[in-house]
């Protein structure tokens, strides 16, 4: 049985030490034959670094590492190219630190290539020297591989001014690639975010972005086929449907994918269903944005965006949906051709149970600062069809929230807050939900699916008593689910902004 490549990002170690390797060399071959300048955005810990290292070994002509792989009999091993590899790491909090890290990176490249920069104090000059001198020494065009190109910006994203300073430095550094086109065979940049071409990419407008090219949708990540073949010895007698619900679901317009980090940790931890990927990167900045902008959390389950997710991320104007998508907390459910607008739209979703539970637990702890032990009676009331117990649990929940910790006592002005609290707690249970569920008569505030039961919920604040349940019935929201053979509960919940709690809770159960 081959070993698990936990934390290993170099192809040589994986091949020589007999670790499992998912063959991505068909994608590598197509890329290198079809394009010269390529950009790829994927969430963190998704296999970008290993793919980049695979490209490095290819261009350096290390044929032996590729025996048995797709590319072995297709690549021209007689041609070897000098490779400049940039991988950002370390303290990137100030411009001076970023420059020092860049100089250290270029020093390593000088040693690997056996050349020296004329200017060892200016990163841009040294980068230019590396390209020119490598081309001259080896008589071959240079390959440039940049891993986590955006890390110097994302590491300081909470400090907008510093992020702009770091961005300007990177824009100047990366523009050197375009200025030296005649000396370059291939360039490949990876990162989490896709900045607009008006910012960091203004000097690299020749880049081909393959992030949402269906042909390269599986370029990183594990498919179900990978699990059932390369990992089959590890998944004997395991409930694969449960594994899928917990860790599968990422999609970049091809197959559904697993995050490799999740699968490797899941196996190595004895197949315990737990939070692995999410806990490696706390989304504190994202949660702060959700708080500041009073984001309506039920939208996370059901919304459509245009192609802004491709290019609208920037320091000056950060879009929450873009950040959620590019960070991996949302993924693509499907692409929609909008014939009326002649445009492409994307329906997004939370990829799996791990992200759904973990993200909402984090929101609960950060925004609402309440006790998550309330989740046990919450799920029981839903599972056993006991709305009166649901009512008691929700009243206790809202009574426990320290409101002075949220929106500076402006809570009563934020109607969406109440629905967001209920949504976050229910989502943290791992149940299926649809926020702003569309019917032919309007939108249901929240639809919840638990076992053989459907809960249709409407929320009102400071309204007329009985208005919430009356709206559900008047607009016949339940009609959408009548043919599913499930018990349907209509639940109207009304809040008072002065009492900061539920003042009316009404429900009815429809007969099948």
- Output the pLDDT for position 339: 78
- Output the pLDDT for position 85: 98
Paired tokens of 128: 């230019």
- Output the pLDDT for position 214: 96
pTM for the predicted model, two decimal places: 0.92
Q: To which residue do tokens 């590899």 refer?
A: 85
Residue ranges in the chain modelled with pLDDT below 70 = 196-199, 201-203, 308-312, 371-372, 403-415, 512
Separation in Å, CA 206 to CA 85, 149, 186, 216:
20, 16, 12, 19
Residues facing 459 on adjacent strands: 493
Quick: pLDDT tens for 148-161: 999 999 999 989 99
Q: Which domains are assigned to the chain? A: 11-216 (3.40.50), 224-280 (no CATH), 284-510 (no CATH)
SS3 state at 84: strand
Quick: pLDDT tens for 446-500: 999 999 999 999 999 988 999 999 999 999 999 999 999 999 999 999 999 888 8
- Output the pLDDT for position 409: 45
Among the residues of 269-317, which ranges form H helices? 284-292
Look at residues 252, 402, 274 and name the one whose alpha carbon lies nearest to residue 325: 252
- Output the pLDDT for position 392: 95
Task: Report the relative pairing of strands 432-439 and 343-349 from DSSP bridges.
Answer: unpaired
* Measured distance CA(245)–CA(67) in Å, rounded: 35
Torsion of Cα atoms, 202 then 203 then 207 then 210, to 10°: -40
- Output the pLDDT for position 134: 98
Task: Report the relative pairing of strands 256-257 and 250-251 from DSSP bridges.
Answer: antiparallel
- Output the pLDDT for position 310: 62
Half-sphere exposure of 228 (CA within 13 A, CB side): 8
* Measured distance CA(365)–CA(288) in Å, rounded: 12
- Output the pLDDT for position 196: 64
User: Is the separation of the CB atoms in 499 and 464 below 8 Å?
Assistant: no
User: Is the separation of the CB atoms in 342 and 353 below 8 Å?
Assistant: no
């Amino acid at each position: 049985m081959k070993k698990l490549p936990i934390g290993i990002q170099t192809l040589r170690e994986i091949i020589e030490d007999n670790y499992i390797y998912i063959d991505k060399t068909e994608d590598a071959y197509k890329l290198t034959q079809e394009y010269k300048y390529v950009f790829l955005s994927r969430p963190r810990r998704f296999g970008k670094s290993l793919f980049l290292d695979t490209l490095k070994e290819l261009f350096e002509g290390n044929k032996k590492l590729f025996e048995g792989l797709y590319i072995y009999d297709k690549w021209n091993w007689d041609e070897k190219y000098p490779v400049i590899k940039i991988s950002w790491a370390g303290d990137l909090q100030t411009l001076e630190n970023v420059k020092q890290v860049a100089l250290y990176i270029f020093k390593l490249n000088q040693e690997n290539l056996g050349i020296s920069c004329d200017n060892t104090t200016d990163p841009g000059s040294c980068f230019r020297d590396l390209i020119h001198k490598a081309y001259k020494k080896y008589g071959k065009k240079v390959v440039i591989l940049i891993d986590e190109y955006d890390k110097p910006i994302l590491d300081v994203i909470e400090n907008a001014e510093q992020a702009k300073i770091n961005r300007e430095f990177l824009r100047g550094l990366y523009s050197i690639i375009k200025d030296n086109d005649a000396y370059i065979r291939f360039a490949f940049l990876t990162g989490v975010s896709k900045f607009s071409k008006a910012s960091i990419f203004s000097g690299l407008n020749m880049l081909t972005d393959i992030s949402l090219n269906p042909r390269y949708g599986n370029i990183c990540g594990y498919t179900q086929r990978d699990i059932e073949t390369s990992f089959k010895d590890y998944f004997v007698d395991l409930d694969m449907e449960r594994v899928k619900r917990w860790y599968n679901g990422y999609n970049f317009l091809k197959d559904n994918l697993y995050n490799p980090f999740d699968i490797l940790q899941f196996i190595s931890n004895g197949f315990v269903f737990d939070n692995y990927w999410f806990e490696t990167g706390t989304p504190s900045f994202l949660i702060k944005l959700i708080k500041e902008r009073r984001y309506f959390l039920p939208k996370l389950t059901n919304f459509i965006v245009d192609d802004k997710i491709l290019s609208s991320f920037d320091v000056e104007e950060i879009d929450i949906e873009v950040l959620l998508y590019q960070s991996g907390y949302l993924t693509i459910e499907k692409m929609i051709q909008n014939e009326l607008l002649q445009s492409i739209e994307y329906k997004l979703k939370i990829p799996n149970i791990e992200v759904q539970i973990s993200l909402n637990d984090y929101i609960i702890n950060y925004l609402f600062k309440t006790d998550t032990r309330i989740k046990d009676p919450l799920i029981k009331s839903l599972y056993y069809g006991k709305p009166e117990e649901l009512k008691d649990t929700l009243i206790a929940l809202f009574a426990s929230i320290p409101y002075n910790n949220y929106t500076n006592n402006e809570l009563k002005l934020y109607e969406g807050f109440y629905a967001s609290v209920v949504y976050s707690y229910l989502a943290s249970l791992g149940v299926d939900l649809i926020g702003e569920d569309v019917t032919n008569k309007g939108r249901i505030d929240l639809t919840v699916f638990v076992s053989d039961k459907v809960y249709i919920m409407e929320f009102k604040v400071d309204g007329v008593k009985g208005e919430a349940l009356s709206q559900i019935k008047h607009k016949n929201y339940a009609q959408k689910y009548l043919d599913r053979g499930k018990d349907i509960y209509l639940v109207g919940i009304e809040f008072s902004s002065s009492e900061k709690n539920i003042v009316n809770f009404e429900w009815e159960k429809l007969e099948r």
